[in-house]
Amino acid sequence: MPRKNQLFKMNPDIHIIDSLLSVFGLEDLEDGRYFSREYLRDQHVVQNIRDLSEELSEYYLPCKRNNLLQLSEKRVITILRQFIKPSGYKCLGTEKSVNGVKTMMYQLLVIEREELSPKEDVDRGYVLSFD
């Protein structure tokens, strides 16, 4: 049984994720290239997400569809993060200096399984006694 999600009425399938990634200029979830907000602006990603918003809204719960109303570069990155997370990926942002100007660079990474599940109790073999 699929896990319940607070954002989606049905988990995003690989076809919608691929459509979303192609808007960002990425080939697939394994694509390790960096991108920035300036790149998104140059590639008109916000407008392309607006064109795709009808399909994206089918996945969101009705109360969460407002994410698609007022789009910006920051919001489309949030949408990307939301759609790839159920597949075990994250979009990590790091600050880099390009030509003396600080800019946020984003990259898709696999979520480590250790981050997702609580750590198991491990018997370390230590004995602590108070005398």
Residue 119 lies in a domain: no
Residue 6 lies in a domain: no
Q: What is the pTM of this model?
A: 0.79
Residue 29 lies in a domain: yes
- The domain of 107 spans 14-113
Q: How far is CA 21 from CA 33, 55, 107, 125, in A?
A: 12, 14, 12, 48
* The pLDDT value given to residue 114: 55
**Which residue blocks in 26-72 are alpha helix, DSSP H?**
37-42, 45-57
Residue 90 lies in a domain: yes
Residue 30 lies in a domain: yes
Which tokens hold the place of 128? 């602590």
Total of domains in the chain: 1
Distance CA(112)–CA(50), nearest Å, equals: 32
Residue 99 lies in a domain: yes
* The pLDDT value given to residue 1: 46
pLDDT tens digits for range 19-52 = 999 999 999 999 989 999 999 999 999 999 999 9
